[in-house]
Amino acid sequence: MKIDVPIIPPANFDHLDLDALKSAVWVYDVLNYRIHWANTAALKLWESEDLAELTARDFRPGSSAAVQQTLCSYLDEFERGRVIDRWWQISPNNIDKRVHCRFSGVLIPPGHMSMLVEGLHSELLQGNHSDYGAVMICLFDDSGAIKSANPPFEQQFGMSVPNLHSIVSEEFELAEILSIKNDVNQELLLVTQTGPRWHSVELRKHSDAELDHNSQASYSLTLLDIHDRKLVELKNAAAAETDALTGLYNRRGIIRKLTSRVDSGCTIFFIDLDDFKPINDTYGHAVGDEVLCQVAKVLRYEIHQAAICARLGGDEFILAIPGQQMGVEPAAVAKLIIQQLTKPFVASKQQRLQVTASVGSATIPGHAENIDTLLQKADAAMYLAKQRGRNRHVHYSDTVKNQLMRGQRILQQVDEQICAENSLFDYHAVVSTLTKKPFIFEARIHWAGQLLENLCSFEISEAIRKASHQDFVEQQLARIIAADLKQLRARYADSKSKISIGLPSGHYLDAGFFSRMAHCFSLFQMNKADVVFELSERALKRVIDQQEGLLVDASAKGFQFALTDFGSGCSPLISLSNLPLQYIKLSPEFSSQMHSKASILKFIIKLCKDLQLSCVATGVNDQALSDRWAECSVYLQQGLYLEAGDLHVSSDAEFV
């Protein structure tokens, strides 16, 4: 583009006091290849002794057509108010300098657009670090032939690069570049003299009005080397989609990977190790990690050459096989998974270990339309495999579908009931026969409806867990308990009243349970001491077996616990002295068999006294039985007889 514009003598910018700036500022008349004005810092940057000498310089001999065409295109951008940031290489007096430039438009007499440049230069920015690389520019025509390039481009790609085919690594990327109709910005891996490197690419297609009539170049390509930054980004992106322990994909990674396979189909195998936690608790987490890495190795290398594997967390894994590469029925693959995983292996400390696995599978298309749903259905099939005895495979079918729908119905009814106005709990008081006042109120959840009231608590809890719905349900139940406790305290004029609640052992073993409970207590302004978590003997044994020290750690954080159903034969007596218990609640069998079990009762009562634990009698249904317990110095009692009077709260219409 050649425009005859008269050279304007330097204007007087002194009144702007730009000389006070430490940063270099100058005005470049693009069309006339001259600096129009510069402040003192810019004179130093351009290695000039005075403004007259600098403004007299003609930059035409050192400007390539590629650079000039790009700067001319900037003028159009300035008309639209755009500000452009670029790393630029200048060579005043043959001294190469890398300068971070901010370009914007400025009008100079008699009113044509020029370029105002704010330049940041420091010796710290010199050197070869690519983050500070100069901008590279080339011009090319419709065939991709390079017509002009600036020196940084030639340094990066070579002096005699004939065509973009030489630097664009992928043919489809070049075709995309050559077919553009509008300006484009993207990141590409280009072939340099030192090997492939990532570049930011700004591509501009010039209109006929912007081109010199002799120019054969229709495009300008502006590049910046971003290789080091891009490698860090790619590494971080990979880490975000990778399980740090096993090197497999994580949930996010496998979903992204498989989403692109939906059209071609795939089969997913959802794998859950059976009873893995005892390995961690028996041998330590380091050995447990070895087991998980061994499982990952088996899934990746010993099942199917096309397998795509992930660890979802804990002991849950995914193995996916693209549909066109499956080759065999899902049952055959699942059988191989189970066979290979059950082979014993020797850990680093010479422990001989063996695991088993429950496997569920589902296929797309057929069972789902997207990967999230497919995972859900494979998970449901795996859960049925566990119910059927573990260490086996179940492929998704109508049976699994019905179970999945049952789980969804369970969730729906749970949500409806916990969001209703009425309390879900019946409260059964433990009464002190000495003071005639409640010692604690035991909360027993009462689900309504034919479905929920006939289910065991484990099945309801599992449906909630599998849907990752624990946070919502627990918060709603905590809200109800907080409101009920407030009413109980008001009714009995006792600000120290507490509520106890019994939960399956799986709740306590859930890694996030106590953190969620702490959040719930804070949310509804309860103290941790307001609620006592009751564990049955069987639940307590499972907790101790799988995670010894869990209750002690939770107690140190303020949570309180009690043992119920004591005397049924499952209590780990050797651990009682180390457990942070508030009281022991005896099995109701002792109330019905006090005479025949008198010696055992005497021992238990003495044990509670020695351990400084309150002892609670249950199943106290008449006055005579209450008196007999009092004769044994057991004054904390619970039963229908005690709830028949003024202390009965389980069906009080004013309260519940």
Ranges of each domain in the chain: 14-125, 130-231, 242-396, 426-446+465-643
Contacts of 560 (CB under 8 A, 6+ apart): 528, 529, 531, 532, 533, 580, 582
pLDDT bucket at 5, cuts 50 / 70 / 90 = very low
User: Residue 627, exposed/middle/buried by CB under 10 A (0-12, 13-18, 19+)?
Assistant: exposed
Residue 182 has pLDDT above 70, yes or no: no
pLDDT bucket at 2, cuts 50 / 70 / 90 = very low
Cβ atoms within 10 Å, residue 135 = 21
Q: How much of the chain exceeds pLDDT 70, in percent? A: 87
Average pLDDT score over residue span 414-433: 85
Q: In 528-580, at which residue ranges do the beta strands (DSSP E only) sit?
A: 531-536, 560-566
Q: Looking at per-residue confidence, does 395 or 452 come out higher?
A: 395
User: Minimum mean pLDDT among 234-243, 458-467, 516-525: which range?
Assistant: 458-467
pLDDT bucket at 650, cuts 50 / 70 / 90 = very low
Matching residue, tokens 């989609």: 241
Residue 319 and residue 303 in contact, taking contact as beta carbons nearer than 8 Å = yes
CATH fold for the domain made of 14-125? Beta-Lactamase (3.30.450)
Q: Looking at per-residue confidence, does 236 or 646 come out higher?
A: 236
pLDDT tens digits for range 479-490: 999 999 999 988
Contacts of 334 (CB under 8 A, 6+ apart): 269, 359, 361, 393, 395
Phi, psi angle pair for 170, to nearest 5°: -115, 135
Cβ atoms within 10 Å, residue 60 = 10
pLDDT bucket at 651, cuts 50 / 70 / 90 = very low
Q: Looking at per-residue confidence, does 563 or 144 come out higher?
A: 563
Contacts of 541 (CB under 8 A, 6+ apart): 570, 571, 572
Residue 61 has pLDDT above 80, yes or no: yes
Residue 401 has pLDDT above 50, yes or no: yes
Across the strands, what pairs with 441?
429, 499
Predicted confidence at residue 128, as pLDDT, reads 46
Quote the CA–CA distance of 82 and 67 in Å, as a whole number: 19
Q: 477: part of which helix (H) or strand (E)?
A: helix 470-492
User: Minimum mean pLDDT among 182-186, 276-280, 364-368: which range?
Assistant: 182-186
Quote the CA–CA distance of 517 and 585 in Å, as a whole number: 23
What type of residue is 52? A
CATH 3.30.70.100 fits 426-446+465-643, yes or no: no
Residue 416 and residue 401 in contact, taking contact as beta carbons nearer than 8 Å = no
User: Minimum mean pLDDT among 2-6, 390-394, 599-603, 624-628: which range?
Assistant: 2-6
Tell me what the pLDDT averaged over the chain comes to.
Answer: 83
Cβ atoms within 10 Å, residue 146 = 22
In angstroms, the Cα distances linking 154 to 66, 136, 146, 392 are 12, 8, 11, 64
Residue 307 has pLDDT above 60, yes or no: yes
Residue 348 has pLDDT above 90, yes or no: no
Predicted confidence at residue 206, as pLDDT, reads 73
Predicted confidence at residue 459, as pLDDT, reads 79
Q: What is the dihedral of CA 461, 465, 468, 473, to 10 degrees?
A: 20
Write out the CATH class of domain 242-396: alpha beta
Q: What does the angle CA 400 – CA 401 – CA 405 come to, to the nearest 5 degrees?
A: 115
pLDDT bucket at 647, cuts 50 / 70 / 90 = very low
Quote the CA–CA distance of 393 and 382 in Å, as a whole number: 7
Quote the CA–CA distance of 9 and 7 in Å, as a whole number: 6
Predicted confidence at residue 7, as pLDDT, reads 47
Average pLDDT score over residue span 474-481: 90
Predicted confidence at residue 16, as pLDDT, reads 57
Residue 509 has pLDDT above 50, yes or no: yes
pLDDT tens digits for range 208-246: 656 555 566 678 888 888 888 888 888 888 888 899 899
User: Minimum mean pLDDT among 30-44, 525-539, 556-570: which range?
Assistant: 556-570
CATH 3.30.450.20 fits 130-231, yes or no: yes
Q: Looking at per-residue confidence, does 471 or 616 come out higher?
A: 616
Q: What pTM did the predictor assign?
A: 0.50
Residue 137 and residue 150 in contact, taking contact as beta carbons nearer than 8 Å = yes
Name the residue among 368, 401, 363, 409 with its Cα closest to residue 383.
Answer: 401
Predicted confidence at residue 6, as pLDDT, reads 46
CA 538 to chain centre: 35
pLDDT bucket at 553, cuts 50 / 70 / 90 = very high
Residue 48 has pLDDT above 90, yes or no: yes
